[in-house]
Structure 1
Amino acid sequence: MMKRILIVDDEKNIRLSLSNFLKVEGYETIESEDGEEAIKLLDREDIDIVILDLFMPGLDGMEALKIMKQRHENIPVIMLTAHGNTERAVQAIKHGAYDFLDKPPNTDKMLVAIYNALDMKQLREEKNELESLSYGKEKLIGESTLMKELYQQIERVAPLNTRVLIVGESGTGKELVALAIHKKSKRKERRFIKVNCAAIPSELFESEFFGHEKGSFTGAISKKIGKFEKADGGTLFLDEVGDIPLHLQPKILRAIQYGEIQRIGSDKEIYVDVRIIAATNRDLQKAVSENKFREDLFYRLNVFPISVPPLREHKEDILPLTNHFVNQIAVENNFKSPSIDDSAINALMNYDYPGNIRELRNILERVLILSSSETISDSHITSVIGIKHDDEHYGDDLKGKVLSTEKKVIEETLEKYNWNISKAAKHLGLERSHLYKKMNKLNIKRQR
């Protein structure tokens, strides 16, 4: 893939000569005449390296360099100056410049500097990816029967190119499952590109996935490489896949089915070799029946479904998860790691975690911040979780009466369906996770 170089210089002839020379050498170039515009371009476009003039009107090269390194630490910057100022060169290097060349630059030295800078950038990216694929701060933890079944599914599907659909509630660790599959696959040395489909504005979806050509729409001042191209040879993880707009789904389907994409503003077909792993906390089959998700796309994604269990269904893993999180949080915040007594574990086991593993970690982090004790007990846990006691009176005002009525309706519905959560939630018109939250809030428990 052609590397993109941002050339920043207030002298038009310098920009033009450098741009023409680098294009001949096989690079794609973008030009900017001042530091402020260059920073905006760097924020918006995919840039591999910056060539930056030191002395410019307005925001000069040194100030622009500082901002660039704060926002885009891994993008190398080569500084140019006609002044040969050694002191300024040393200062620029201290602020993160990769190299410093006199103007007009010697073409051989320029090419060597660019080659070495790009090589260093690639090594850093590979290192960062390897660190992230070792799960960084998080990893799959648990030895329960459900977790062992999950590990077996990962081992079975990882070596294949089969598409995987990971389903589960928020906070269960769906991304970690996707990472584990990639790490154990034949593509493990290539890129793992994550797309949070729920976080992309509707009008930017197509550009984010497929990229665009310069001038293809207002604001497209240079070419952009989309997620499918970036993931070529590796894995593309579509998180919250149920949030892909319906009008874009046919293009996603074609890209998955034929391995072909088109950038916005181009008629050229680009072939990509990408493994798709998708994840959702939605009921996609229900979305299909409601015409909110394409049936053909659902079947393309759902070749090998993996269900990640909610924490309340494998509570035996709360103890190892708690030990892991407490030690992790203590290290991150320079705390002394406290011990966890049995009463604290029992309190944790008696909670149902509508937010799942993510909520467990958040609870433990709050407990460690609020407590200075060397031992965590049940009182520390319940003060954070806010567990209420039986026979709680909600008051005689309107709010209290509403809560009392809501509790009574939920309890009666649960009894009607023999405490089958799924059937009760459906009858009440709630998601299962929402019903669990209400049951916890209202202290609704089945009497044994």
Structure 2
Amino acid sequence: MSRLLIVDDEQEVRNFFAYLLRNKPIHLTVASNAAEANRLIQVGTYDAALLDLKLPDGTGLDILRLLKKVHPTCRVVLMTGYSTVKSALEAIRLGADDYIEKPFSDIDELERLIDSLLVPQPLGGHDDRLRIAKEAGLVIGTSHAMNELVSLAWKIARKNVTVLIEGETGCGKEVLARFLHLASMRRDEPFIEVNCGALTETLLESELFGHEKGSFTGALSLKRGLFEVASRGTLFLDEIGDATPSIQVKLLRVLETKSFLRVGGEHTLRTDARIIAASHVNLPHAVATGTFREDLLYRLDVVKLSIPPLRERRADIPLLARHLLDQNDGKNFSFSADALTLMHAYDWPGNIRELANVVKRALALADGDTFVLTSEYLPQALFPVAETAATYSDRSPSLPTVSSPVPQLDRELDTWKHMILTAWNQDGTVSLPEVLTHVKELERIVGEAFVKKALRETLGNRKKASEQLNISVRTLRYLLHEK
């Protein structure tokens, strides 16, 4: 028989659970305060516990800490009011499995939740999380911060709460938003993204709320807005920090009332879209400087997820590079150890987006069906930090440091120099045709090296590369051994 602990200071709540679970094979233990709960935890064992967040002599968080210490395998759910959802999320970070809001609106859902705590269900396990992450294009990797983030995102994905995603440009905010959508109960409904900083105020207003026919010049027909289209689905508001004050006011109204008007409309429309917002701007700072509404931030910041920048998860770079190669039809390609060393040492100010561009560039320059992408295929921006690659060798001893950005050319020049000087110092007969053949071979090697360097600098644009080298495209193709 399963053992369940209920901790709540309201007698009505304790009676409710006793009645709800009366016919289930559950040994129910109840406590009305933190002191009583702490005593019961020390003398008994429990498979699961439902803890009220606010108690007269303590908090559910304190009981959670003790439970996880004494009974690490006990599964815990926090019971909370809407105003204390943030504390419930802190409980999830401390190891709670879930939280539910009081008063309980769906008794069937509550009963299913209790059953899932006592009899683990196949859905929601670690394998499901990895499967949905892969579907969303999210590489979790080995970083502790990233694993903790995804664990929290997984637990709140099924909650109908607004989520604010923070992170530097290019760190994968849209991918995390898609993961939240796919892991939610709304996965079969639309996931729609709009960049609030990429559109003018008038166009953004029309996109979000729609417009009536004839409401402005060019409005030739009725247009449904994204709040209408995404109703029952997820609406991802990217770069929310760039929204104008007027748009911020209208967004606040939707978040507060779940209703809106089309541009030029007279009838109120309702939406059930789940809102996920993202910003690379520090929104509390924007509030302090007067460029973002404090009341809108309060409505958006129900759950905050902060994505670590790529420089704080360097160990994941090989995994991310492999993922990006596969995404760009580069399944037969791989990066060499020297290339990965440079990538490991670089700070990636553009984060994963910059890494994606580096991968695309390397593939554009590569030849053949199966190819190892060496450091020669990386952009010049990665080389200034090559000298400091040894700094990271302690963390990644399998990656050797790079002594030269063009090791192949260095070797060829050394070999050629040795051969010429040997011939020059040789007494007697010298085969000049053979020496001149080696000179021509060096000409070919040097020409090819300069062409590849120019192609790296022009992102593979052969016309620009040929102009940069003052040669024709035909000559460039010849130096690359192309017909």
Normalised by the length of structure 1, the TM-score is 0.54
Paired residues of 1:141 and 1:320 also in contact (CA < 8 A): no
Equivalent position amino acid for 1:237 in 2: F
Contact 1:347 1:382 in 2 (8 A): no
**Distance of 1:165 and 1:341 partners within structure 2:** 38
Aligned to 1:95: none
Q: Match of 2:242, as an amino acid?
A: D
Match of 1:372 among 356, 364, 367: 367
User: Which residue of structure 2 lines up, in the alignment, with residue 256 of structure 1?
Assistant: 255
- Residue in structure 1 matched with residue 183 of structure 2 by the alignment: 184
* Alignment-derived partner of residue 346 in structure 1: 341
Name the counterpart of 1:305.
304
CA, structure 1 residues 264+149, in 2 after alignment: closer, same or farther (shift >3 Å)? same
**Aligned counterparts, 1:375-390, within 5 A:** 375-381=372-378, 383=380, 385-387=382-384
The answer for the alignment partner of 1:231 in structure 2 is 230
Q: 1:390 to 1:253 in 2, by over 3 A?
A: same
The offset of 1:379, in angstroms, is 3.9
Structure 1 distance, partners of 2:363, 2:341, is 17
CA offsets, 1:46-79, max 9 Å, x none? xxxxxxxxxxxxxxxxxxxxxxxxxxxxxxxxxx
Q: How does 1:19-168 map to 2 (within 5 A)?
A: 138-168=137-167
Q: What 5-or-longer segments of structure 2 have no aligned partner?
A: 1-131, 389-483
Please say if 1:323 is aligned against 2:322. yes
Post-superposition CA distance 1:225-244 (Å, at most 9, x none): 11100111111110011111
Q: In 2, are the aligned partners of 1:241 and 1:278 still within 8 Å (CA)?
A: yes
2: distance between equivalents of 1:222 and 1:380?
Answer: 51
Match of 2:441 in 1: none
Residue 268 of structure 1: how far off its partner (Å):
1.1
Return 5+ residue gaps in structure 1 as ranges: 1-132, 392-448
1:299–1:354: structure 2 CA closer, same or farther, 3 Å change rule?
A: same
Whether 1:198 aligns to 2:197 is yes
8 Å CA contact 1:366, 1:384 repeated in 2: no
- What is the total number of aligned residue pairs between the two structures? 255
Task: Evaluate the alpha carbon distance shift between residue 177 and residue 267 of structure 1 in structure 2; reply closer, same or farther with a 3 A threshold.
Answer: same
Query: What per-residue deviation string (whole Å, max 9, x for no partner) do you get for residues 17-68 of structure 1?
Result: xxxxxxxxxxxxxxxxxxxxxxxxxxxxxxxxxxxxxxxxxxxxxxxxxxxx
Counterpart Cα distance in 2 of 1:151 and 1:269: 37
C-alpha contact 1:242 1:282 (8 A) present in aligned 2: yes
Q: Is the 8 A contact 1:319 1:345 kept in 2?
A: yes
2-structure distance, mates of 1:135, 1:258? 35
Distance 1:134 1:316, change over 3 A: closer
Offset of residue 193 of structure 1: 1.3
Preserved CA contact (<8 Å) 1:140 1:177:
no
Partner of 1:209: 208
CA positional deviation for 1:382: 5.9
Corresponding residue for 1:292? 291
Q: In structure 2, how many angstroms separate the alpha carbons of the residues matched to 1:324 and 1:203?
A: 38
Post-superposition Cα deviations, 1:299-341, rounded to whole Å, max 9, x if no partner, equal: 100110000110000101001111222233234xxxx723333
**Does the CA contact (< 8 Å) of 1:363 and 1:384 recur in 2?**
no
CA gap 1:356/1:195 in 2 versus in 1, 3 angstroms: same
Aligned to 1:404: none
CA distance in 1, matches of 2:385, 2:343: 14
RMSD: 2.2
Q: Aligned equivalents of 2:213 and 2:335: distance in 1?
A: 58
Equivalent position SS for 2:193 = strand
Write the deviation string for residues 201-227 of structure 1: whole angstroms up to 9, x where unpaired.
Answer: 122222111111112222222111111
What SS does the corresponding residue of 1:198 show, helix, strand or coil?
coil
Q: Which amino acid aligns with 2:183?
A: K
* 1:140–1:176 contact (8 Å) kept in structure 2: no
Output the CA distance in 2 between the equivalents of 1:146 and 1:369: 33
In 1: Cα distance, 2:210 partner to 2:303 partner: 28
Structure-2 separation of matches of 1:173 and 1:229: 26
- In structure 2, what is the Cα distance between the partners aligned to 1:368 and 1:168? 28
For residues 310 and 133 of structure 2, what CA distance do their matches in structure 1 show? Answer: 22
How far apart are the structure 2 equivalents of 1:188 and 1:137? Answer: 11
345 and 228 in structure 1: CA distance in 2 versus 1, 3 angstrom threshold:
same
Residues of 1 paired with 2:157 and 2:298: CA distance? Answer: 19
User: Equivalent residue of 1:208, what SS?
Assistant: helix
Evaluate the alpha carbon distance shift between residue 384 and residue 290 of structure 1 in structure 2; reply closer, same or farther with a 3 A threshold: closer
Residues 367 and 225 of structure 1, relative CA distance in 2, 3 Å threshold: same
Amino acid of the residue matched to residue 163 of structure 1? T
1:326–1:197 Cα change, 3 Å: same
> What is the alpha-carbon distance in structure 1 between the residues aligned to residue 287 and residue 351 of structure 2?
26
Q: Compute the displacement of 1:135 (Å).
A: 6.9
Partner of 2:41: none
Letter in 2 for 1:160: K
Q: Are residues 343 and 263 of structure 1, via their aligned partners in 2, closer, same or farther at CA, if it must alter by over 3 Å?
A: same
